[in-house]
Copies of this chain bind each other. A is one copy, B any other.
Amino acid sequence: MDDIFTGMDPDKRDRIINAAIEEFAAYPYDKASTNSIVKNAGVSKGLLFHYFENKQVLYEKLIGFVIQKLFDAIVNRIDWRESDLIERIRQIALIKMEVSKTYPHMFDFMMKTLTYKRAGNIDDIVELYKGYGFDFQKVNEDVFSRNIDYSKFRDPETIRESVNIVRWSLEKFGEEQLLLLGNDGKLDFAQAVAGLDHYMDILKKTFYA
């Protein structure tokens, strides 16, 4: 999966990947412009089409690349022995932040690929992901259930709702952090983590027995 770009200068490689990811994250396949990609990556048109035979192949290889990163990040780097749900969510948030340092729009891109139906010639992108061995539903189940000790919750009758509230809150927190970014482009990770931990403490005190 990585060998798409072998030999290329890593800086230039990431510039191309990021420019492409950003373009496909911002616009649906048809409106995404290869001209914009090369402009933002600072390379010539010819170079892009030297490495990718056409737009469609670029798009699919990009998905392959993202899968590989996701798989490594989410599946392999989570501590699956952790039984505390909030701690697990914290791990995911931290992984997300770290990946975003190198590939800022990777998660946006992934979400977009799942939202838009029929990007390019691909009818079902979830199936494409599965073809790469990545099953979103399965991963999602694992994240929220594998080895998790739900007896920690104070009210056993509203566990499902409590989990959602915790999940939603931390997701929104992350989104608002990203909005604060915008202008200068760089996020203060230390401060973001501190804020995250603060909210996590409150959520624990609120929902745990």
Binding site for B on A (CB under 8 A): 27, 31, 158, 161-162, 164-165, 168-169, 171-173, 198-199, 202-203, 206-207
Cα distance A206–B166 when bound, in Å?
12
Cα distance A198–B164 when bound, in Å?
13
CB <8 Å contact, B161 and A199: yes
Taking CB as reference atom, which chain B residue is nearest A157? Answer: B202
Q: Which of A165, A199, A203 has most chain B Cβ within 10 Å?
A: A165
A sample of 11 more A-B contacts (CB under 8 A), given A165-B199, A206-B206, is A31-B31, A158-B202, A161-B198, A161-B199, A162-B202, A164-B169, A164-B172, A165-B203, A165-B206, A169-B169, A172-B172
Taking CB as reference atom, which chain B residue is nearest A154? Answer: B206
Cα distance A206–B202 when bound, in Å?
12
Contact sample, A vs B, 11 pairs, CB 8 Å cutoff: A27-B31, A161-B198, A161-B199, A162-B202, A164-B199, A165-B169, A165-B202, A168-B168, A168-B173, A169-B169, A172-B172
